[in-house]
Amino acid sequence: MKSPITVAVTGAAGQIGYSLLFRIASGSMFGPDQPVALRLIEIEPGMAALGGVVMEIDDCAFPLVHSITPTSDINEGFKGVNWALLVGSVPRKAGMERKDLLNINGKIFTGQGQAIAKNAASDVRVLVVGNPCNTNCLIAMNNAKDVPADRWFAMTRLDENRAKSQLAAKAGVHVSEVSNVAIWGNHSATQYPDFYNAKIGGKAATDVIKDEAWLQGEFISTVQQRGAAIIKARGSSSAASAANAVVDTVRSLTTPTPAGDWTSVAVCSDGSYGVEKDIITSFPIRSNGSKWEIVQGVPVNEFSQGKINATIQELKEERDAVKELGLI
Ligand code: NAI
């Protein structure tokens, strides 16, 4: 039997946690022969509900679950972790300014960054899901100076999956035919789902979907606004699809990317594509299973450049706001 991978999940009693934990425990994230030690982190008011979730994990009798540690102590929660999945955060409420949200969440992510640096395993990798995820990731990274910059990720995979599903539906093909969909920038309404480089059945998406007005307009806005559409229909925000995207993200980073394809995740910019260094930005990424890289040479036309500029501008403003608040 392999030794277990230790995985911390914050916000473990929340909506996403309720879908995610069972996928990790069943082997979807790390494979069918990889045991996992779960460290489940909640704030004090969430601990009773978390107790119920732990009972349910127990009741699944998962062969791969090595241990479960529920806790509201972040130092205990991040002890020895190889993967930290930072899902918990405080959602924006009516009347709350973006700056208020950054300030509230900033305090959470400064503390979590410090606790990860102090307690996690030396190979720790961190995926931030809680919104605003790019900037929360930036804050945590800047408060964990000993953890190298290439270990930090923020999630844009749900946007990529949404974009693939929209392109497949429009083209009338199965979603598995769609590849090379990059999300650029921020996980927010300014994100840019890049259809110009997407492929459908190996051909340029723009050759298969000969409706550039739809691609430039309705396609982008549908992907950007999908979260709001789900809230309207379901009465609460996307959770199972978000949890699925967490599983996809970790799998894509820990297994080789299929030849010629790429995936989307926000990483610390190295200046590629003229994006300002050291902000957490979504790029097309490839992995060999242990190391990842930003795919170079993806064509960026004038339309794409305009969209990328807008989303990077928003990220710079968020970075400046948290700098002003003394969080980084
Ligand atoms: P939720 O409100 O159902 O659950 C959040 C949980 O986090 C709660 O149980 C709460 O007690 C806990 N929590 C709050 N502060 C915490 C802290 N400091 N430490 C540990 N736990 C804490 O929310 P849900 O639906 O599970 O979403 C979680 C986050 O994921 C939200 O910020 C949401 O906006 C974000 N999200 C991000 C997506 C992405 O694509 N990046 C997609 C969907 C959601």
Catalytic-labelled residue, pool 79, 164, 187, 286: 187
Round to whole Å and give the CA distance between 304 and 315.
17
Q: At what angle do helices 240-254 and 157-171 cross, to 10 degrees?
A: 100
Tell me if residue 268 falls in helix, strand or coil: strand
Round to whole Å and give the CA distance between 39 and 264.
26
Q: What's the gap in Å between 262 CA and the centre of ligand 1?
A: 27
Tokens read off for 130: 């809680």
Q: Answer whether 160 contacts ligand 1 (Cβ < 6 A).
A: no
Give the per-residue pLDDT at 159.
Answer: 98
How far are the Cα atoms of 115, 118, 140 from residue 145, in angstroms, in the given order?
Answer: 11, 10, 9
Q: What's the gap in Å between 40 CA and the centre of ligand 1?
A: 13
Give the per-residue pLDDT at 88.
Answer: 97
92 is in an annotated binding site: yes
5 is in an annotated binding site: no
Closest CA to 105 of 97, 153, 246: 97
Q: Answer whether 70 contacts ligand 1 (Cβ < 6 A).
A: no
Give the per-residue pLDDT at 17.
Answer: 98
Give the per-residue pLDDT at 216.
Answer: 98
pTM of model > 0.90: yes
Q: Answer whether 167 contacts ligand 1 (Cβ < 6 A).
A: no
Give the per-residue pLDDT at 131.
Answer: 92
Task: For domain 156-321, give the fold.
Answer: L-2-Hydroxyisocaproate Dehydrogenase; Chain A, domain 2 (3.90.110)
Cβ(128)–Cβ(140) below 8 Å? yes
Tell me if residue 228 falls in helix, strand or coil: helix
* Residue 66: active-site member: no
Q: Answer whether 280 contacts ligand 1 (Cβ < 6 A).
A: no
What's the complex ipTM? 0.99
The total of other beta-carbon atoms located within 10 Å of residue 207's CB is 9
Give the per-residue pLDDT at 90.
Answer: 84
Closest CA to 157 of 282, 288, 278: 282
Tens-binned pLDDT, residue by residue, of the chain (328 aa): 799 999 999 999 999 999 999 999 999 999 999 999 999 999 999 999 999 999 999 999 999 999 999 999 999 999 999 999 999 998 777 777 777 888 888 999 999 999 999 999 999 999 999 999 999 999 999 999 899 999 999 999 999 999 999 999 999 999 999 999 999 999 999 999 999 999 999 999 999 999 999 999 999 999 999 988 999 999 988 999 999 999 999 999 999 999 999 999 999 999 999 999 999 999 999 999 999 999 999 999 999 999 999 999 999 999 999 999 999 9
Out of 2.60.40.1730, 2.40.50.220, 3.40.50.1220, 3.40.50.720, select the CATH number for domain 5-154.
Answer: 3.40.50.720
Q: What's the gap in Å between 16 CA and the centre of ligand 1?
A: 7
Give the per-residue pLDDT at 64.
Answer: 98
Give the per-residue pLDDT at 147.
Answer: 98
Give the per-residue pLDDT at 113.
Answer: 98
Sorted by where each begins, the domain ranges of the chain are 5-154, 156-321
8 CB contacts (<8 Å, ≥6 apart)? Answer: 39, 40, 41, 77, 78, 81, 83, 84, 85, 120
**Torsion, Cα of 62, 66, 69, 75 (10° steps):** -140
Give the per-residue pLDDT at 96.
Answer: 75
Is 156-321 the same fold as 5-154? no
